Structure formats: structure tokens, C-alpha cells
Structure 1
């Protein structure tokens, strides 16, 4: 009888660990809106985002993100079909929502970054093209060449606070959640 209880308890612990990891991947508006006032304040967002999404961005698993972590994650985020190549549609989506403001006029087209002309932008083409822009630099608020958890969360929040109120509405959250659903 004791063996059964130990197995049962072990199985329950495994189930709880599995459920917790699934929960972290499927957070909803209420999980972010800690004070239940119908808005996600920047601090609420920062707390939940860093607790649940930091590791997805931090490829090296240290206390900060460097430009390689940043660009690797961004590339994977806009590579919606997970084939490690950006199509023109994926490039345009990233351009429209993330890095378009940082590219120089005349050097912002898909063709300008598809250096080998194969119809795709590989990671090295993406990284080489964006490395010399201010894209990463503007996310580095304290200018120490690394992104802290707070800097990352702040920038993600500001990216999805579409009307710049300092509060994330339900509709803004659903835009964010739809884009980040796979992480």
C-alpha cells in the first residue's frame, strides 16, 4: 500500500510540474492584470513577462541578453513557418511591426537583405543587415550593451501599447498574445 501512495504522489508531482509549464505558455489577460482593473499596467506586464518569457529570449542562459540573443529570438519570432528562412511575407511582417523604423530608406526592401538572391533571407543575412542599425541599441535603455529583463519587458510592452497610454488594453493584449502564442 505504501508503494502505491509513493507512486501516486510522484505521478501527481510530475503532473503538477507539467501543468505549470503548460500554464506558463498559455497565460491570459487576467494573469497579467494582477489588480483586476481591466488594464495591464507596465509594472504588471514586466513582472509576468520576465517570469515567463525571459528564458525564451535568453539563449545563453545568463542574467542579460546580448545582441546575438536579441537577433536570434527576433528572427525565430518572425519565422512563422519555422523553416529557418524568412519569406518576403515574414520579412514584411517583421518590418511592419518591429524593425522597419530602423532601416535606412532605399535599403529597406526584402531584396536588399536577400543578398544571395535565393528568395529567402537566411539568419546571417538578417543579422548582417540589422546589426549596424539602431534596432538593438534603442532597446538597451541604460546603454550598457546588454538588455536586462526589465529593459526587454519594457520594450515589448511599449511595442504592444499601440496607443502609447502606458496601459495595455484587452485588445492590445490580444494582439500581443496572438503574436507570442508560440513562445
Structure 2
């Protein structure tokens, strides 16, 4: 079982390191991602830019090349523990509530994308996609023992009710590959589901990559 209090540096935030020269001057430079300069980000361009930003190996605690649900959820948990106290306190919960809310980043959004995901391909079979229960809502729902903080095990319990991991696990094999991770995140920015990220979707990426943004290290 993963130990949530042993995440490096600032948890998930510390995983998003600027390693490429293109990011030396700025966390987000649209030109560095848009390699063909057409004002759009294809999934291939996004994948290359995002992988320069996200060190997948830092998510993968056991080094097996894929993410288990526990590895995935522990990484997300660390992202919200900004003060490194190994607990999400009420003062930190605002960002957590926003990102898990109806319009939040972890909610699968985009009308056309949702319609396209009405059926999910699993191996050779196609099965109807099920709407996640998303039962954990409100600070009190996640804070199971009522002590005013959300601990790692409480987050794990609430996270499982969301079915979020299954959305990222596109092949239904119980793990998330790096390709699945980047594709699913791309889809969350591609709000209209047209297979390209353009304005105003590009602005959303800029906000999240910039200082204080979601992926800011």
C-alpha cells in the first residue's frame, strides 16, 4: 500500500518539472508546444509538450511502467496538500472542491466528447459506458472521521466512488499507461471534442501551466 506521507517535495506538484530547454524561460510557451505554428495543438503536439512537463516515472512508484489506481490517486492527493502536512485541510479544500466540482478539471467535460464516450472500447468488445457514482461531495463527505482534515486513506475511499480511474484506464486492464494519461488529459482540454485544442481552450492550458496554475511546480 502506498504511503501518502512519503510523496517527494510538494506531492504531485513536484512531479511536473521543467526539463526541456523550451521551458527554461517560461512554464508555458505556446510556440514551444505548437510545433507547426498553426495556432492549434494536435494530440501529438500536446503529448510531446506535456511529457516534457510531466515525469511519468515519478507517478509510477513501483516502476512497472503503468499506474495502479492507488498510485494515481495518491499523486492527485499530493497535489492538494500544498503545505506538506500530509493532510488536506479546510483551507486547502477550496481548490480540491473546485477541481472535483461540476465544472472542475477532474470531471469529464465537453458535450461532444461526452457523447463520443457513450460507448467505451475495451479490448475487442464495446460496452456501454457507465456514469461514475461520484458519491463523495463536500468536505464532510471526504472527511470520514470528522477530524477536519482529509487524510490519504479517506481520499482513497472517496476517490474510488468517482470512477475517475476507470475513465483514464481506456483499455479496462486495471492500469493507466503514459499514453492513456496524456490522451485523457488532452481530452479534458479539448472541450468541444474536435480533436484539436484551440482558443479559448489554449488559454485554459496557459492558465494551468502558468505561475500558480494547476500544473505549476
TM (norm. structure 2) is: 0.64
Q: Give, in angstroms, the shift of residue 83 of structure 1.
A: 3.0
2:203 alignment partner, one of 157, 162, 171: 171
Q: Write the deviation string for residues 68-125 of structure 1: whole angstroms up to 9, x where unpaired.
A: 22101111223334432223313312312244574445x4221011011121111110
Q: 1:79·1:90 contact (CA, 8 Å) conserved in 2?
A: no
Q: Does the 8 Å CA contact 1:79/1:85 hold for their aligned counterparts?
A: yes
TM-score by length of 1: 0.75
Map of 1:16 onto structure 2: none
Determine helix, strand or coil for the equivalent of 2:79. Answer: helix
For 1:162 and 1:83, the matched residues in 2 are separated by: 34
Shift of 1:56: 3.7
RMSD, matched Cα: 2.5
* Structure 1 unaligned blocks of 5 or more: 1-19
Matched, 1:44 2:45: yes
Cα 1:81/1:33, change in 2 over 3 Å:
farther
More strand by share: 2
What is the total number of aligned residue pairs between the two structures? 162
- Whether 1:157 and 2:192 are equivalent positions in the alignment is no
Q: Which runs of 5+ in 2 are unaligned?
A: 1-17, 109-131
Instruction: Find the structure with the greater CA-based Rg.
Output: 1
Instruction: Report which of the two has the higher share of helix.
Output: 1
SS at match of 2:76: helix
